[in-house]
Structure 1
Amino acid sequence: MTGAITTLLVCQLAGELLARALHLPVPGPVIGMVLLFVLLLIRHGEGEEPPAALTQVADTLLAHLGLLFVPAGVGVVVLLHTLAANWLPLALAVGGGTLLGIAFTGRLAQALLRRLG
Protein backbone atom coordinates (compact mmCIF):
# COMPACT_ATOMS: atom_id res chain seq x y z
CA MET A 1 0.00 0.00 0.00
CA THR A 2 2.88 2.37 0.71
CA GLY A 3 4.22 1.77 -2.78
CA ALA A 4 0.86 2.66 -4.31
CA ILE A 5 0.64 5.94 -2.36
CA THR A 6 4.22 6.70 -3.33
CA THR A 7 3.40 6.04 -6.99
CA LEU A 8 0.48 8.48 -6.85
CA LEU A 9 2.54 11.16 -5.11
CA VAL A 10 5.52 10.74 -7.45
CA CYS A 11 3.24 11.10 -10.48
CA GLN A 12 1.70 14.23 -8.98
CA LEU A 13 5.14 15.66 -8.17
CA ALA A 14 6.37 14.93 -11.70
CA GLY A 15 3.28 16.66 -13.08
CA GLU A 16 3.86 19.70 -10.88
CA LEU A 17 7.51 19.89 -11.93
CA LEU A 18 6.62 19.61 -15.62
CA ALA A 19 3.86 22.22 -15.35
CA ARG A 20 6.14 24.72 -13.61
CA ALA A 21 9.29 24.03 -15.63
CA LEU A 22 7.51 24.24 -19.00
CA HIS A 23 5.06 26.99 -17.92
CA LEU A 24 2.11 24.86 -19.03
CA PRO A 25 -1.45 26.18 -18.56
CA VAL A 26 -2.52 22.78 -17.21
CA PRO A 27 -2.47 22.02 -13.46
CA GLY A 28 0.30 19.72 -12.28
CA PRO A 29 -2.04 17.09 -10.81
CA VAL A 30 -3.77 16.73 -14.20
CA ILE A 31 -0.41 16.16 -15.88
CA GLY A 32 0.45 13.69 -13.11
CA MET A 33 -2.78 11.80 -13.76
CA VAL A 34 -1.89 11.53 -17.45
CA LEU A 35 1.60 10.32 -16.47
CA LEU A 36 0.05 7.68 -14.19
CA PHE A 37 -2.23 6.57 -17.03
CA VAL A 38 0.71 6.23 -19.43
CA LEU A 39 2.73 4.41 -16.77
CA LEU A 40 -0.11 1.93 -16.21
CA LEU A 41 -0.48 1.39 -19.96
CA ILE A 42 3.23 0.73 -20.35
CA ARG A 43 3.61 -1.56 -17.35
CA HIS A 44 0.33 -3.44 -17.45
CA GLY A 45 -0.95 -3.12 -21.00
CA GLU A 46 -4.33 -2.18 -22.34
CA GLY A 47 -7.30 -4.03 -20.91
CA GLU A 48 -5.49 -5.34 -17.84
CA GLU A 49 -6.46 -4.44 -14.32
CA PRO A 50 -4.22 -2.02 -12.40
CA PRO A 51 -2.36 -3.37 -9.36
CA ALA A 52 -4.66 -4.25 -6.46
CA ALA A 53 -2.81 -1.96 -4.03
CA LEU A 54 -3.24 1.03 -6.35
CA THR A 55 -6.93 0.24 -6.77
CA GLN A 56 -7.37 0.01 -3.00
CA VAL A 57 -5.61 3.34 -2.39
CA ALA A 58 -7.64 5.05 -5.13
CA ASP A 59 -10.91 3.64 -3.75
CA THR A 60 -10.00 4.84 -0.23
CA LEU A 61 -9.20 8.34 -1.50
CA LEU A 62 -12.44 8.46 -3.47
CA ALA A 63 -14.42 7.30 -0.43
CA HIS A 64 -13.10 10.29 1.54
CA LEU A 65 -13.23 12.78 -1.33
CA GLY A 66 -15.64 15.02 0.57
CA LEU A 67 -12.96 15.82 3.15
CA LEU A 68 -10.75 17.23 0.41
CA PHE A 69 -13.34 19.95 -0.26
CA VAL A 70 -13.12 21.33 3.30
CA PRO A 71 -10.17 23.67 2.55
CA ALA A 72 -11.96 25.00 -0.54
CA GLY A 73 -15.11 25.60 1.52
CA VAL A 74 -13.12 27.44 4.17
CA GLY A 75 -11.55 29.59 1.45
CA VAL A 76 -14.99 30.52 0.12
CA VAL A 77 -16.19 31.51 3.59
CA VAL A 78 -13.04 33.53 4.31
CA LEU A 79 -13.29 35.37 0.96
CA LEU A 80 -17.05 35.81 1.04
CA HIS A 81 -16.73 39.61 0.91
CA THR A 82 -14.67 39.32 -2.30
CA LEU A 83 -17.25 36.96 -3.81
CA ALA A 84 -20.05 39.37 -2.86
CA ALA A 85 -18.24 42.29 -4.47
CA ASN A 86 -17.62 40.37 -7.71
CA TRP A 87 -20.70 38.19 -7.94
CA LEU A 88 -21.76 39.25 -11.47
CA PRO A 89 -18.47 38.52 -13.29
CA LEU A 90 -18.11 35.27 -11.35
CA ALA A 91 -21.67 34.19 -12.15
CA LEU A 92 -21.18 35.03 -15.84
CA ALA A 93 -17.86 33.18 -15.97
CA VAL A 94 -19.21 30.07 -14.23
CA GLY A 95 -22.51 30.06 -16.15
CA GLY A 96 -20.88 30.85 -19.50
CA GLY A 97 -18.11 28.32 -18.96
CA THR A 98 -20.64 25.65 -18.05
CA LEU A 99 -22.78 26.33 -21.12
CA LEU A 100 -19.73 26.38 -23.40
CA GLY A 101 -18.50 23.12 -21.89
CA ILE A 102 -21.87 21.45 -22.41
CA ALA A 103 -22.10 22.74 -25.98
CA PHE A 104 -18.58 21.62 -26.82
CA THR A 105 -19.15 18.17 -25.32
CA GLY A 106 -22.39 17.78 -27.28
CA ARG A 107 -20.76 18.81 -30.57
CA LEU A 108 -17.82 16.50 -29.95
CA ALA A 109 -20.15 13.61 -29.16
CA GLN A 110 -22.12 14.27 -32.36
CA ALA A 111 -18.94 14.36 -34.44
CA LEU A 112 -17.64 11.14 -32.92
CA LEU A 113 -20.98 9.36 -33.38
CA ARG A 114 -21.10 10.47 -37.02
CA ARG A 115 -17.59 9.16 -37.51
CA LEU A 116 -18.49 5.78 -35.98
CA GLY A 117 -21.85 5.49 -37.70
Structure 2
Amino acid sequence: MIAVLAVLLAFQLLGEAIAQVGHLPVPGPVIGMVLLFLALQWHSALPESLRTTAQTLLSHLSLLFVPAGVGVIQYGALLAKEWLALTIAVLLSTILTIAMTALVMHVLMHRNGADPSDD
Protein backbone atom coordinates (compact mmCIF):
# COMPACT_ATOMS: atom_id res chain seq x y z
CA MET A 1 0.00 0.00 0.00
CA ILE A 2 2.87 2.40 0.77
CA ALA A 3 4.35 1.91 -2.69
CA VAL A 4 1.00 2.71 -4.33
CA LEU A 5 0.56 5.80 -2.14
CA ALA A 6 4.05 6.88 -3.19
CA VAL A 7 3.06 6.49 -6.85
CA LEU A 8 -0.14 8.50 -6.31
CA LEU A 9 1.82 11.24 -4.53
CA ALA A 10 4.45 11.20 -7.30
CA PHE A 11 1.74 11.85 -9.89
CA GLN A 12 0.38 14.66 -7.73
CA LEU A 13 3.89 16.12 -7.38
CA LEU A 14 4.46 15.87 -11.12
CA GLY A 15 1.17 17.61 -11.79
CA GLU A 16 2.03 20.32 -9.27
CA ALA A 17 5.41 20.83 -10.91
CA ILE A 18 3.85 21.10 -14.36
CA ALA A 19 1.27 23.60 -13.09
CA GLN A 20 3.95 25.73 -11.39
CA VAL A 21 6.49 25.66 -14.22
CA GLY A 22 3.86 26.19 -16.91
CA HIS A 23 1.98 28.86 -14.92
CA LEU A 24 -1.21 26.95 -15.70
CA PRO A 25 -4.57 27.95 -14.20
CA VAL A 26 -5.30 24.28 -13.48
CA PRO A 27 -4.52 22.85 -10.03
CA GLY A 28 -1.55 20.52 -9.90
CA PRO A 29 -3.50 17.59 -8.42
CA VAL A 30 -5.91 17.75 -11.36
CA ILE A 31 -3.01 17.59 -13.82
CA GLY A 32 -1.55 14.71 -11.81
CA MET A 33 -4.89 12.88 -11.94
CA VAL A 34 -5.03 13.31 -15.73
CA LEU A 35 -1.48 12.00 -16.02
CA LEU A 36 -2.38 9.01 -13.81
CA PHE A 37 -5.43 8.37 -15.99
CA LEU A 38 -3.29 8.44 -19.14
CA ALA A 39 -0.74 6.12 -17.55
CA LEU A 40 -3.50 3.68 -16.59
CA GLN A 41 -4.94 3.86 -20.11
CA TRP A 42 -1.51 3.07 -21.51
CA HIS A 43 -1.08 0.21 -19.04
CA SER A 44 -4.56 -1.06 -20.08
CA ALA A 45 -5.17 -2.88 -16.79
CA LEU A 46 -5.64 -1.58 -13.27
CA PRO A 47 -3.08 -3.17 -10.95
CA GLU A 48 -4.72 -4.98 -8.04
CA SER A 49 -2.61 -3.10 -5.51
CA LEU A 50 -3.88 0.21 -6.88
CA ARG A 51 -7.46 -1.04 -6.80
CA THR A 52 -7.13 -2.10 -3.15
CA THR A 53 -5.48 1.17 -2.11
CA ALA A 54 -8.05 3.26 -3.99
CA GLN A 55 -10.94 1.38 -2.35
CA THR A 56 -9.37 1.92 1.07
CA LEU A 57 -8.93 5.65 0.41
CA LEU A 58 -12.49 5.96 -0.89
CA SER A 59 -13.88 4.22 2.17
CA HIS A 60 -12.38 7.03 4.29
CA LEU A 61 -13.30 9.85 1.90
CA SER A 62 -15.67 11.44 4.40
CA LEU A 63 -12.67 12.39 6.55
CA LEU A 64 -11.70 14.92 3.88
CA PHE A 65 -14.79 16.96 4.77
CA VAL A 66 -13.47 17.60 8.30
CA PRO A 67 -11.11 20.45 7.25
CA ALA A 68 -13.93 22.07 5.26
CA GLY A 69 -16.23 21.86 8.27
CA VAL A 70 -13.57 23.40 10.50
CA GLY A 71 -13.14 26.20 7.96
CA VAL A 72 -16.87 26.91 7.95
CA ILE A 73 -16.87 27.12 11.73
CA GLN A 74 -13.69 29.21 11.87
CA TYR A 75 -14.86 31.67 9.19
CA GLY A 76 -18.57 31.63 10.07
CA ALA A 77 -18.68 35.38 10.69
CA LEU A 78 -17.07 36.12 7.32
CA LEU A 79 -19.45 33.71 5.57
CA ALA A 80 -22.41 35.40 7.27
CA LYS A 81 -21.13 38.81 6.16
CA GLU A 82 -20.53 37.76 2.53
CA TRP A 83 -23.48 35.38 2.12
CA LEU A 84 -25.01 37.21 -0.85
CA ALA A 85 -21.82 37.25 -2.93
CA LEU A 86 -21.15 33.60 -2.09
CA THR A 87 -24.70 32.58 -2.99
CA ILE A 88 -24.53 34.38 -6.33
CA ALA A 89 -21.12 32.87 -7.10
CA VAL A 90 -22.31 29.35 -6.29
CA LEU A 91 -25.52 29.71 -8.31
CA LEU A 92 -23.80 31.23 -11.35
CA SER A 93 -21.00 28.67 -11.35
CA THR A 94 -23.52 25.84 -11.04
CA ILE A 95 -25.59 27.16 -13.93
CA LEU A 96 -22.45 27.68 -16.04
CA THR A 97 -21.23 24.15 -15.25
CA ILE A 98 -24.57 22.59 -16.22
CA ALA A 99 -24.71 24.63 -19.43
CA MET A 100 -21.13 23.75 -20.42
CA THR A 101 -21.72 20.08 -19.65
CA ALA A 102 -24.82 20.07 -21.86
CA LEU A 103 -22.93 21.87 -24.64
CA VAL A 104 -19.99 19.45 -24.53
CA MET A 105 -22.37 16.48 -24.49
CA HIS A 106 -24.28 17.90 -27.49
CA VAL A 107 -21.05 18.46 -29.45
CA LEU A 108 -19.71 15.00 -28.64
CA MET A 109 -22.98 13.29 -29.52
CA HIS A 110 -23.11 15.21 -32.80
CA ARG A 111 -19.48 14.29 -33.53
CA ASN A 112 -20.19 10.59 -32.91
CA GLY A 113 -23.13 10.63 -35.27
CA ALA A 114 -25.81 10.27 -32.59
CA ASP A 115 -28.86 12.47 -32.95
CA PRO A 116 -29.05 14.57 -29.76
CA SER A 117 -32.82 14.83 -30.09
CA ASP A 118 -33.22 11.02 -29.91
CA ASP A 119 -34.27 9.69 -26.55
TM-score, length basis structure 1: 0.89
- Deviation per residue, 1:54-101 (Å, 9 max, x gap): 111111111111001101110111011111111111111100000111
2:49 corresponds to 1:77: no
- Map 1:13-32 → 2, pairs under 5 A: 13-32=13-32
Aligned length: 113
Give me the whole-angstrom Cα distance separating, in 2, the residues matched to 1:2 and 1:66: 21
Where does residue 101 of structure 1 map in the other structure?
Answer: 97
Match of 1:67 among 63, 66, 75: 63
2:87 corresponds to 1:87: no
Where does residue 12 of structure 1 map in the other structure?
Answer: 12
Query: Which stretch shows the higher mean deviation, 103-112 or 74-83?
Result: 103-112
Relative contact order (C-alpha < 8 Å, sep 6+): which is higher?
1
Give me the whole-angstrom Cα distance separating, in 1, the residues matched to 2:80 and 2:9: 36
TM-score, length basis structure 2: 0.88
Structure 2: unaligned runs, 5 residues or longer: 115-119
- Of all paired residues, the percent bearing the same amino acid is 50
Runs of 4+ in 1 over 3 A off after TM superposition: none
State the superposition RMSD in angstroms.
1.2
Where does residue 108 of structure 2 map in the other structure?
Answer: 112
Where does residue 52 of structure 2 map in the other structure?
Answer: 56
Give me the whole-angstrom Cα distance separating, in 1, the residues matched to 2:24 and 2:108: 28
Structure 1: unaligned runs, 5 residues or longer: none
Give me the whole-angstrom Cα distance separating, in 1, the residues matched to 2:41 and 2:107: 27
